Amino acid sequence: MKKLLFITIATIKRIFMGEERHGEYIVYLKNGQLESKKNYVNGKRHGEYVVYRKNGQLWYRRNYLNGKLHGEQITSHGNGQLELKENYVNGKFVN
């Protein structure tokens, strides 16, 4: 079931199957700007998980596989420049 929720600081679009998050979970700031996009499968983070700063710049991008960090993980400074890049395999840091 898809829902749009209006709260004081953001609009959230999410899909629930029972009590678990499932599918894409999107949060918009009150001004309509995208704040985050997250993906879940059966309550676990799965796929891309992206959060933006209030200035619209990427804050961080995570990738998950069955709830564990997997693949390239990026964190950026407030000006958009790369701060940190790491790689994980099945939840374990590899570089």
Tens of pLDDT along 29-60? 888 899 999 999 999 999 999 999 989 999 99
Q: CA triplet 94, 53, 76: central angle to 5 degrees? A: 35
Res 72: pLDDT = 97
- The pTM score is 0.77
As a whole number of angstroms, the distance between CA 46 and CA 68 comes to: 8
Residue 6's pLDDT is 44
Contact 27, 11 (CB under 8 A): yes
First to last CA, the chain: 39
What DSSP letter does each residue of the chain carry, written as one string? -EEEEE-SSEEEEEEEETTEE-EEEEEEETTS-EEEEEEEETTEEEEEEEEE-TTS-EEEEEEEETTEE-EEEEEE-TTS-EEEEEEEETTEE--
